[in-house]
Amino acid sequence: MCGIAGQVGADASTIEKQHTVYCAMQQSMGRRGPDQSGMYICGNAALLHARLCVVDVENGRQPMQLSQGKRGYVLVYNGELYNTGELREELRGAGHRFTGHSDTEVLLHAYAQWGEACVEKLNGIFAFAVWEKHTKRLFLARDRMGVKPLFYARRGQNLIFASELKTLLCHPAIRPQLDAGGRAEVLLLGPGRTPGCGVFRGVQELLPGHCGYYTLGTAALATRCYWRLQDHEHPDSFPRTVARVRELVADAITRQLVSDVPVCTFLTGGLDSSIISAVADGQFHAAGKALKTMSVGYRGNKEFFKASKFQPNADAPYIRTMNAALHAEHSWITLDTPQLVQALYAAVDARDLPGMADVDSSLLLFCKAVKPMATVALSGECADEIFGGYPWYRDKTIREKYGFPWAQSTAYRVSFLRAEALQGIDPEAYLDERYRDTLGKTSILPGRDATETRMRQMMNLNLRWFMQTLLDRKDRMSMYSGLEVRVPFCDYRIAEYLYATPWDYKDYGGREKGLLREAMRGLLPEEVLWRKKSPYPKTWNPAYLAAVASALQQVIADPAAPLLQLVKKDALETLLAAGAENPTPWYGQLMTTPQTIAYFLQLNYWLEKYRVELV
């Protein structure tokens, strides 16, 4: 993967004078793209790139330019295309010629051939910008599922864009200002975000499945939605559906193994990562190669693990079972409490916002340890959103409850907040507006019964909200160490097919992701295939709670701590006194008391490190 950024503006002299600014922006992307960097600065446009080399090291350099008669294009691109070969052949048939085998070159020619319609032909994860020299307009696009990020801001006669918020904030025109809307995002929704919201004042994120043009002198980026999930009648019987799911999943995984650098898979012993590892292992073994599989664990978990409704058993036995079934070379990476606590702050640096606490920091440390052994990894995120694996899909009480099922803690959150923090915000109305808006944008065929209607609402809610939080986490924590993590279950073809699949198919056998399990019979050991869902592994060591509690106690002992501008000290003291007994999660299933405390630590660090201005 890579980092992209740039600026286009009506006044060319302004662009020409900001070379130092662009150098700072490019340097801020160094972790995303540690291998190569490049700039295009000419006239009304500056395009910046930092590259992580994965395919065609020599011929994939960016910014990449193409001239066709009087037409000229400049591309900066972050992502991977998984149908590069098919596109290249189609473009060759239209008269295009290529100098290398990079997907970057194919993408640039695709845009030259089809213009904005090229996005509808792409299978991959991407965010890219094309400057049309002949028309003096900028085209921006983002992949269908939102795997790759793209933020932007309009300032005066300029549009400024970047892969990450930190890069935008390097530009003097963009200040880290937090208005009422930004406070609501961080305090009421965080670590989630409203789709399209960049949290800082005047900063937006291009929505998944959207693209648009910015023409010099216009008031805004003119965007359009080129893809969304559409309900339709499911065409297949259950046996045919099982076969089709197996085909789609295997094809998505196989396509995403293409790389000129070492590839590995993350293996938790759960269903999703085990499927990816098994398919990848088969491909590698057939080619006479050994796949590398990577697992993360925590010091003390064997001693302190406690089974719960959401995490009924430990991962290690299932990882060992998978290892015995594969031909892979396996590596265990064990994290300790002091590392997790210290990495909370690096995780904020990576995400540019308070995040999922140690759920973030553990992944950041895991990716850092994986990087010396591989440059590309495949991971199992997003299967639960598509196949209905979360408890809120299957528990009727939770499923039918009004509001975001992973964020039922608004009153709890408000109890922490100072009156000043809530000025201009109606918490319930803020969340309700976003919830209703998402339901209103859910495609549902007339005549659907209540269950099928709700399941489409749930899938749309999860893809637009919860999955985006996990994709933010995956992208930022991995790219912080220059590791490219691919997510095969985010293949849009799987999402399209599963959206209209009847719920009783997905819930086959009364099991979460029953359809996926049935589709993968014979691929996995039976005990792994039918293992009850278990979330991303986290530490169970009580030393972690003690460590973050001690750190927060030190923070709130300082009257000047920026956290105390937004959060009541006495509420934090009550949280600390409750210890592990507090049953209310901050977000989702994993952010319980230790993670709530850690979220406040991250919030304090973020306010201070980013010099956030409350406006």
Any idea which residue has 């199992």 for tokens? Answer: 380
User: Half-sphere exposure of residue 124, counting CA atoms within 13 Å on the CB side?
Assistant: 27
Closest-CA residue to 342 (of 361, 368, 367): 361
Cβ-contact 451, 573 below 8 angstroms:
no
Query: Among this protein's residues, is 2 annotated catalytic?
Result: yes
CB neighbourhood size of 476 (10 A):
28
CA distance 598 to 358: 7
CA distance 49 to 198: 21
372 token code pair: 């010396």
What are the CA-CA distances from residue 70 to residues 92, 112, 133, 134, 538 (Å)?
A: 21, 12, 9, 7, 56
Cβ-contact 267, 293 below 8 angstroms:
yes
CA distance 291 to 283: 9
Residue 191: cis peptide before it, omega within 30 degrees of 0: yes
CA distance 546 to 219: 51
Which stretches within 486-568 are classed as H helix? 492-499, 503-506, 514-519, 526-529, 542-556
Any idea which residue has 């239209």 for tokens? Answer: 94
CA distance 537 to 539: 7
Give ∠ CA 215-219-225 in degrees, rounded to 5. 70
Burial of 177 (0-12, 13-18, 19+ CB in 10 A): middle
Any idea which residue has 């809307």 for tokens? Answer: 181
Cβ-contact 233, 498 below 8 angstroms:
no
Q: Which element (helix H / strand E) includes 162? A: strand 158-162
Cβ-contact 152, 161 below 8 angstroms:
yes
Positive or negative, the CA dihedral 458, 460, 466, 467 is positive
Q: What are phi and psi of 531, to 5 degrees?
A: -65, 135
152 token code pair: 């932007």
CA distance 535 to 587: 14
Q: Which of 2, 53, 367, 490 is catalytic?
A: 2
Any idea which residue has 């265990």 for tokens? Answer: 332
Which amino acid appears at position 406 of this protein?
A: W
Cβ-contact 297, 330 below 8 angstroms:
no
What are the CA-CA distances from residue 434 to residues 404, 414, 439, 527 (Å)?
A: 9, 18, 9, 40
What are the CA-CA distances from residue 586 to residues 6, 108, 392, 413, 598 (Å)?
A: 36, 43, 16, 8, 11
Q: Which element (helix H / strand E) includes 138? A: strand 137-142
CA distance 358 to 539: 8
Residues marked active site are found at: 2
